[in-house]
Amino acid sequence: MNPNQTIVHPANTVELLREGIPTYLPKPLIFEADINRAPVRKDILSAEEKRLAVRNALRYFPEELHEILAPEFADELKTYGRIYMYRYRPQRRFEAMPIENYPARCLQAAAIMLMIDNNLDPRVAQHPYELITYGGNGAVFQNWAQYRLVMKYLSEMEEDQTLVMYSGHPLGLFPSHKDAPRVVVTNGMMIPNYSKPDDWEKFNALGVTQYGQMTAGSYMYIGPQGIVHGTTITVLNAGRKLAGSSNDLGGKLFVTAGLGGMSGAQPKAANIAGVVSVTAEVNPKAAYKRHEQGWVDKVTDNLDSLVEQVKKAVKEKSIVSFAYVGNVVDLWEKFDEENVMIDLGSDQTSLHNPWAGGYYPAGLSFEESNVMMVQDPELFKLKVRESLVRHADAVNRHTQKGTYFFDYGNAFLLEASRAGADVMADDGIHFRYPSYVQDILGPMCFDYGFGPFRWVCCSGSPNDLVSTDKIAHDILHELSLNAPEEIKQQLKDNIKWIKEAGKNKMVVGSQARILYADAEGRTKIAAAFNRAIAEGKIGPVVLGRDHHDVSGTDSPYRETSNIYDGSAFTADMAVQNFVGDSFRGATWVSLHNGGGVGWGEVINGGFGMLLDGSADADRRLRSMLHWDVNNGIARRSWARNKEAMFAAKRAMESEPKLKVTLPNIVDDRLLDNLF
């Protein structure tokens, strides 16, 4: 395909994508009943600030429509706490279309349009009407005017322009050059003192910032598959800690919560890891959606019957996943009363967002909570705190009986500690339970450079996905033949994963795949894809990764929780990564405040890169992927993580132009009597 050629499309969608903000008034949106809606947001603005929010919203529209739109937007603000501009949601089916169906003047822009559409596909997105992809508040855009303008800009963009995105708002197309990113995204960048949860509520309601989560605001979400893999690796390795060298996870029980956007992957991952699992989910819609999709085997809201079924499954070592429709606190307490032995425990409620629908307190129904969080937010906060104390108490009773509990990056321990729950270690400084990164993902994966590399086949063809799976498998297999002992297990797990990936039917939305690989693996796989594209064997491919990776995220209670030199509270690595990716050839880059653990608690970034079979793409992928992983390895190595020091030395041996500053290790006895 000639990237400069304007592509021809089915008339309606093409017109809608090019249309931008129409001069006429579109028909009001018809809300379909079965679409999961975002919770009503906190009413936080003063009357004067509400006027400002409406004034801000109206600047997207021609003046002659203001008389109609002003009261309509005011009404949205009153009813939902935000102005989504529902009427402007294009009346089309949202899904990742084959790349040639997008009206674009350059293929890179078409690829970004495809990825944006995928993030808003109702099969993929958690609250598609509110432009929320996952995590309750992970937004692609703040409102539908922004979506429309962005698609219009992308349809017009040429290879020497860059679209600048300020938290969902397209500032405009700016002249740049062919090797520059086509889009630069920042989400939620705040003056540090204005980065408290209520600051998000206020400035998001004003329409000037948004919570981009990780892959929502960077157009890189690929549905729950993305997290299935990370969760599988985590559960598998957590299980190995218990099973020891036997590696037999049969009959082990894993208990957790959340069947939402990302958390919905847990039962599937547990099945792949070969354990029995129970996942509590308070929202019946979310639980049944996962059941219908085949991500969880059985659903029940009856705790007595659940206890019987679980005991039987454990005894028979069946591989089965249960969804419990109810509150996770009740589940932990019931299993304690009934002496059900839990081997592995965790939690994936959205505690990065505890006061606005991320965590439903025990003792209140789902509906009661939804009303209380809006009508009496202070009482709701109290209920959440009480529930977290009960929650932690129940977990503690189980861990005393031998459960291995880990924080799964949802800020459970952080929020529980803030609520006064008994989750601190004896030193009063650290938590009594490890984060999964401290114990598992950090030392076993990130420090060696293994992280959630992913790709999307832009043709939309399942055959392309099969071909790319095969290419990736063959590369990993080849690498495993001469790999050092330290990374053999990782390669082995990922070879198994990619071999079975097709069979596990994890595609929801775009034809996408995730695979943990290190810098060498990612580069070799990407180069092989690019060759296959050049040879006409497959269509164009978008590469990317979760921000939750080796170098992409600074987050002291999650991705960088295994950094112990004090720098876990700095964000230089993520910012450097974003900047470094942008001048090494990324097609788009993004930098976010607020990922999985909450606004103000994390800075994370990512990239997207289009492979089109060209020599340019080959040059870019080699330069960018090398940096994208080795930045984090160098930082982790400087923090004295021994696995990363090993990886940094290895990387320098294979690339003479890489010179990493290595730490000298001090004999601790020299420090003992100094202070």
DSSP three-state, residue 187:
strand
Interface of this chain with ligand NAD, residues 113 to 132, rule: CB under 6 A: 126
Interface of this chain with ligand NAD, residues 387 to 446, rule: CB under 6 A: 408-410
List the structure tokens of 182. Answer: 């086509």
Site for ligand NAD contains 81 (CB under 6 A): no
Rounded distance between C-alpha atoms, residue 78 and residue 83, angstroms: 9
Rounded distance between C-alpha atoms, residue 230 and residue 125, angstroms: 19
The amino acid at residue 40 is V
* DSSP states of 471-492: HHHHHHHHHHHT--HHHHHHHH
Cβ nearer to ligand NAD, comparing 286 with 483: 286
Site for ligand NAD contains 210 (CB under 6 A): no
Instruction: Give the interface size with ligand NAD as a residue count (CB under 6 A).
Output: 33
Site for ligand NAD contains 188 (CB under 6 A): no
Beta strands in 200-267 (DSSP E): 253-257
Cβ nearer to ligand NAD, comparing 343 with 559: 559
The amino acid at residue 301 is D
Residue whose C-beta lies closest to ligand NAD? 260
Count of alpha carbons within 13 angstroms of residue 673, beta-carbon side:
0
Rounded distance between C-alpha atoms, residue 268 and residue 258, angstroms: 13
Rounded distance between C-alpha atoms, residue 41 and residue 139, angstroms: 14
CA distances from 434 to 85, 142, 234 (A): 43, 35, 13
Rounded distance between C-alpha atoms, residue 543 and residue 526, angstroms: 8
Min separation Cβ 265 and ligand NAD, Å: 8
State which of residues 352, 473, 620, 650 lies at the interface with ligand NAD (CB under 6 A).
Answer: 352
Interface of this chain with ligand NAD, residues 359 to 378, rule: CB under 6 A: 359-360
Spell out, one character per residue from 452 to 471, where the chain touches ligand NAD: x when CB under 6 A holds, - when not: --------------------
List the structure tokens of 41. Answer: 């947001």
Min separation Cβ 281 and ligand NAD, Å: 5
> How many angstroms from the chain centroid is the CA of residue 190?
21
Min separation Cβ 180 and ligand NAD, Å: 31
Min separation Cβ 648 and ligand NAD, Å: 24
Strand partners, 513: 455
Rounded distance between C-alpha atoms, residue 530 and residue 517, angstroms: 17
Cβ nearer to ligand NAD, comparing 262 with 617: 262
Site for ligand NAD contains 479 (CB under 6 A): no
Rounded distance between C-alpha atoms, residue 287 and residue 59, angstroms: 40
Min separation Cβ 674 and ligand NAD, Å: 38
Site for ligand NAD contains 328 (CB under 6 A): yes
Rounded distance between C-alpha atoms, residue 424 and residue 427, angstroms: 8
State which of residues 3, 39, 81, 136 lies at the interface with ligand NAD (CB under 6 A).
Answer: 136
Q: Residue 447: in which H helix or E strand, if any?
A: none
Q: Which residue stretch of 199-207, 354-362, 443-451, 648-656 sits at the interface with ligand NAD (rule: CB under 6 A)? A: 354-362
- Judge contact between 521 and 541, C-beta under 8 A: no
State which of residues 120, 276, 351, 372 lies at the interface with ligand NAD (CB under 6 A).
Answer: 351
Site for ligand NAD contains 211 (CB under 6 A): no
State which of residues 585, 596, 606, 632 lies at the interface with ligand NAD (CB under 6 A).
Answer: 596
Looking up tokens 């005991």, which residue turns up? Answer: 311
Q: Which residue stretch of 146-154, 174-182, 358-366, 561-569 sits at the interface with ligand NAD (rule: CB under 6 A)? A: 358-366
Rounded distance between C-alpha atoms, residue 549 and residue 551, angstroms: 6
Spell out, one character per residue from 213 to 252, where the chain touches ligand NAD: x when CB under 6 A holds, - when not: --------------x--x----------------------
Site for ligand NAD contains 310 (CB under 6 A): no
Min separation Cβ 138 and ligand NAD, Å: 7
Site for ligand NAD contains 256 (CB under 6 A): no
Interface of this chain with ligand NAD, residues 9 to 68, rule: CB under 6 A: none
The amino acid at residue 105 is R
List the structure tokens of 177. Answer: 């050059």
Interface of this chain with ligand NAD, residues 259 to 288, rule: CB under 6 A: 259-263, 280-283, 286
Chain contacts with ligand NAD (rule: CB under 6 A): 126, 134-136, 227, 230, 257-263, 280-283, 286, 327-328, 348-352, 358-360, 408-410, 548, 596
